[in-house]
Structure 1
Amino acid sequence: MRPSAFVVLGLAAMGSWACSREEKPPAPPKLFATETAEPKLGAPAPAAPVFTHLTVKARGATTELERTPEGWRITSPVEAKADPYAVEAMVQQLTTAKFKSTVNAAPSDADLKKFGLTSPHFTVTARAYVPDVNGGGAEDPSRQRTVTLSGGEENPFDGSVYVRRDGDATVYAAEGVVRWSLDRGPFELRAKEFLGPLDAATLQSIEVTAKDHAYLLTRDADGKTWRMVKPEPTRANASRVADLLTAFAGQQALSFPEDTPAARKALGLDSPLVDARFVPVSGDPIRVRLSQATRDGTPVVHALREQGTRATLAEVDARALTTLDVGVPELKDRRVLAFPRDAVRRLEFHPGGKAAPVVVARGSSLDGGSDAWRIEGPDGGLARHFRVVKLLGSLESLKAAAFGEANVKRWERYGIGEASRSVVLRDADGRELTRLWLGNAVPEQDERLYARGSGPDLVEVSAGAVADWPTSTADLKDPPPGGPDGGAP
């Protein structure tokens, strides 16, 4: 072959390669394109759109959603909080997803029917704005963007879904996750935790009438502790109250039936098994009623939450009936002593009988005294600081192993009296903050002692928890150099 022939063939090949590059189809576009043209190479990426409104037609219903300062809310067919995870998944796909491929650029009516796009399985209309450099632009018409996506059949070969956009005749294929995120009905888009928030810090009282128990709790002025008013006045266990509220507010709806007076009566909500009232520090009280009815021979539980003019009816798990149905022992504060630790300036450990108490006191730097713990009796000296701090901490954390007789009239029956082993805590002015008496061993419970603390009830405490109380000043002092005998031969 002549050299000129090789040149001709080479030019032909190059021309074919160049044509193939020029004829390469463009990459499939984004589901939600905010720019009219692809950004130039090296140009900064366009700002992500901020979605403000979604209309989802799926599962035989139309759901309207709006972004609010408090988060996404459903405005139709009901007024309710939206499920943040479901909406976030939808917004994420609209923001980042691209079509997988172009299926048909000019589909016929027969093609659209084959792809399931004549009557789409789902349609999503999304409105958003492209923020400016300062994050604004929500009210700027030039920054508004709207797209409507329609989804059809699923491709059985790769799980993709056929999708079409308004204003674009092309049929595209999108990843299956797009369908999973966008094909959502009102129930899937609605928040299932509808009873909350029920935060102990925002409530001032809780009143519950349940199947087996009834009680009234009020929050103390300090905003942290709770007190039981009914059925008996006593300190309430603040951490247990918080746990109950968390568990109750976490109940999820299994369905949202239509709320009508007839439905409430048929479900037994006029005579509920649980009737709870939560009064916040500010705002309308929250009332929650729970009832049980039978459906197809199976018991089902429903909850009705009412606050102001808003009411929500939902089917819930049967465990919701027992979450708040707890008794006095579970609600009581198990701390044996209640006192402000920072106010303690004096501890008096009474060994019992006529023995002299072991007394330690702490001065105040404000009045010129030392802030160290010193022994005041039976003899003087500097106390081991960490030993006293440990004793104070053990008194503060001492818990009742069990509750005994309430409002005891004759404490001597349990070995508790003025001559009992005890400890007294006082403030800087000598006022008694609290006192703990120890009594006899609990019958058949030798590891426990009867005790009397800050409350009116008899309690049982672990003998080991109070075994290290000092019985002499030597228990609070550092040992002398060289050992207990001072190093003498």
Structure 2
Amino acid sequence: MGKGLVTVVALALGAGGLALSACSDGPSLRSAEAPAVSEKLFAPASTGTQGTKAAAPVFTRISVRAQGDTTELAREPDGKWSIVAPVKARAEAAAVEALLETLGSTASSPLVKDTPTDADLEKYGLKSPVFSVTAHAFLPDASGGGEDVPSRQHTVTLHGGVENMFDGSVYVRRDGDSKVYAAQGSVRWSLDKDTFALRSKELLGELEANELTLIEVRAQERGYVLEHEAGTTKWRLTKPVAERADEARVTSLLKNLKEYRALSFPADSAQTRKKLGLESPLIDARFTPRSGEPVRIRLARVMEDGAPRIHALREQGPDAVLGEVPEGALSALDVDVLELKDKHVLNFRREDVRRVVFHPGNGVAPITLVNASGMDGGSESWQVESPRQGKAQHFRVVSLLRVLGTLKATSFGEARPKNWAKYGIGDASRGAVLLGADGRELARLWLGGEVPDASGLSYARGSGPEVMEVSVEGLVLPSRAEDLMEGAPAPAPTEARGP
């Protein structure tokens, strides 16, 4: 964690002006002339050189006793923090960052009581502290080392008491120091944390699309399998249909899953799993990474007091975590396969296109263009080949190919219809055919009739086997050869679209 290397630790409270103290009858004003003592938890070792700034301590272990829990945290070699007791789990990054920032603050703390009695400690909540934090750190040498050098190691325990209701400050003291100080209320907010508050709630996340090779999801009424094409960012649906997958939708699926954080962590056992329905889950998903063990996530619902409660079991190798999650986690994975399909109408690579045939429809002769440039990767040189010959408008052709490549369906209709004609789609339909260097068809677009009660949408047939609904706005296909030839003006949209 970047905040692991913090500044010298001190109890935080601004100095100067009128400070507040507590007495047996409640809070009272302490003279502005009374010293605000700055006490540092981790005193830097002397550098031996006047004016040389001491190295900040590096925290390695922290123990927090608060709200009935004792939580042990350890800093990993990569700088991240984990909980090692009472459970082994990842730590909540934001909570640990706030804790370290508080320990690393360097403001002054007003002295409340120099030599408190037992009665004073009882009054301040320090006889039996409300919370205690023990921090272990080392002062690094010039090379950043010194973690194993005893003389560079420091351990300090800070005890927190009750809140001063007059100003919201909290009473604190340290082991080995009898004095009582007043620290600002944010100290308690950062340090008075139970195990749940310090534990990472990210139960379903840490799944990145580019790190996975396979996603398998089984739900009660539907399921799907997604495979990552090696060496690319592309995904394919392999079950229940074999289709291109929408890369953005796969990424958002995993991102949405991450948003459903754990609400609680029930004790895990075979009996608990059975009681919560995890032996026959609503959703059973497996995520296979490029390296390492697969991640299995099961989601189940139980009713308690008439309300649904959703529990998730995440397993990876020997590790298993059981948690309660928001109900929306079910819909994050239980999605219709149509949502996962690539919505691009045509599937082709722009650089493979060597010939384009536009079909104006209504019996008008097709318009054929050919890329006259060589296959050595040189600049394109499009020519109109028929029904007239001439040089094509380069940017007009490039623009048309770009639009065809980005054209997406707004929704899918009937799959593999027996009668395409009922959608106005046939050999005489308006459209375009894209061909490769060997004459092989790369992609074909047919535009059909208008979708009823959907202004601006038309039926279409593309690279997939189903009827698509597409927006024809901005799709201006040529109706004559002159529309593409140099020296001829670009057609008006209404004229180009045809009937």
**1:124-143 superposed matches below 5 A:** 124-143=133-152
Q: Are 2:287 and 1:278 aligned?
A: yes
Partner of 1:60 in structure 2? Answer: 68
**TM superposition shift of 1:26:** 6.1
- The letter of the residue matching 2:484 is L
Q: Are 2:428 and 1:419 aligned?
A: yes
Partner of 1:477 in structure 2? Answer: 485
Q: Is the 8 A contact 1:128 1:146 kept in 2?
A: yes
Q: Are 2:446 and 1:437 aligned?
A: yes
Q: Are 2:406 and 1:402 aligned?
A: no
Q: Secondary structure at the match of 1:63?
A: strand
- The letter of the residue matching 1:262 is Q
Partner of 2:400 in structure 1? Answer: 391
Partner of 1:372 in structure 2? Answer: 381
Q: Are 2:158 and 1:149 aligned?
A: yes
- The letter of the residue matching 1:214 is G
Partner of 1:260 in structure 2? Answer: 269
Q: Secondary structure at the match of 2:255?
A: helix
Moved more, 443-452 or 101-110: 443-452
- The letter of the residue matching 1:202 is E
Distance 1:230 1:370 in 2: 41
**TM superposition shift of 1:265:** 1.4
Q: Is the 8 A contact 1:65 1:72 kept in 2?
A: yes
- Of residues 119, 138, 156, the one that matches 1:110 is 119
Distance 1:404 1:253 in 2: 38
Distance 1:282 1:211 in 2: 29
Distance 1:336 1:70, change over 3 A: farther
Distance 1:367 1:118, change over 3 A: closer
Partner of 1:9 in structure 2? Answer: none
Partner of 1:206 in structure 2? Answer: 215
Q: Is the 8 A contact 2:35 2:110 kept in 1?
A: no
Q: Secondary structure at the match of 1:178?
A: helix
Partner of 1:80 in structure 2? Answer: 89
Q: Is the 8 A contact 1:99 1:172 kept in 2?
A: no
Q: TM-score, normalised by structure 1?
A: 0.86
- Of residues 350, 359, 362, the one that matches 1:341 is 350
Distance 1:27 1:362, change over 3 A: farther
Distance 1:371 1:98 in 2: 68
Partner of 1:165 in structure 2? Answer: 174
CA RMSD of aligned residues (A): 2.5
Partner of 2:80 in structure 1? Answer: 71
Distance 1:161 1:272 in 2: 47
Q: Secondary structure at the match of 2:331?
A: helix
Percentage of identical aligned residues = 52
**TM superposition shift of 1:438:** 2.2
Partner of 2:254 in structure 1? Answer: 245
Moved more, 241-250 or 217-226: 217-226
Distance 1:473 1:97 in 2: 77
**TM superposition shift of 1:183:** 0.7
Distance 1:263 1:126, change over 3 A: same
Distance 1:72 1:320 in 2: 26
Distance 1:360 1:133, change over 3 A: farther
- The letter of the residue matching 2:59 is F
Distance 1:259 1:236, change over 3 A: same
Q: Is the 8 A contact 1:51 1:129 kept in 2?
A: yes
**TM superposition shift of 1:114:** 1.9
Distance 2:376 2:238 in 1: 41
- Of residues 430, 450, 456, the one that matches 2:465 is 456
- The letter of the residue matching 1:207 is E
Max Rg structure? 1
Distance 1:199 1:126, change over 3 A: same
- The letter of the residue matching 2:152 is R
Distance 1:184 1:53 in 2: 16
- Segments of 5+ residues of structure 2 without an aligned counterpart are 1-32, 490-499
Partner of 1:8 in structure 2? Answer: none
Distance 1:378 1:141, change over 3 A: farther
Q: Secondary structure at the match of 2:468?
A: strand
- The letter of the residue matching 1:145 is H
- The letter of the residue matching 2:459 is Y
Q: Are 2:359 and 1:350 aligned?
A: yes
Instruction: Report the number of matched residues.
Output: 456
Distance 2:98 2:143 in 1: 26
Distance 1:290 1:216 in 2: 17
Distance 2:454 2:126 in 1: 76
Distance 1:93 1:475 in 2: 70
Distance 1:97 1:362 in 2: 71
Partner of 1:218 in structure 2? Answer: 227
- Of residues 53, 57, 61, the one that matches 1:49 is 57
Q: Secondary structure at the match of 1:86?
A: helix
Higher fraction of helix? 1
**TM superposition shift of 1:430:** 3.4
Distance 1:98 1:167, change over 3 A: farther
Q: After the TM superposition, which parts of structure 1 deviate over 6 Å for at least 4 consecutive aligned residues?
A: 37-40
Q: Are 2:245 and 1:236 aligned?
A: yes
Moved more, 178-187 or 93-102: 93-102
Q: Secondary structure at the match of 1:147?
A: strand
Distance 1:71 1:369, change over 3 A: closer
Q: Is the 8 A contact 2:44 2:55 kept in 1?
A: no
Q: Is the 8 A contact 2:295 2:314 kept in 1?
A: yes
- Of residues 101, 106, 124, the one that matches 1:92 is 101
**TM superposition shift of 1:364:** 4.3
Distance 1:123 1:446, change over 3 A: closer
**TM superposition shift of 1:37:** 7.3
Distance 1:368 1:245 in 2: 38
Partner of 1:327 in structure 2? Answer: 336
- Segments of 5+ residues of structure 1 without an aligned counterpart are 1-23, 482-489
Q: Secondary structure at the match of 2:415?
A: coil
Q: Secondary structure at the match of 1:464?
A: coil
**TM superposition shift of 1:125:** 0.8
**TM superposition shift of 1:106:** 1.7
Partner of 1:485 in structure 2? Answer: none
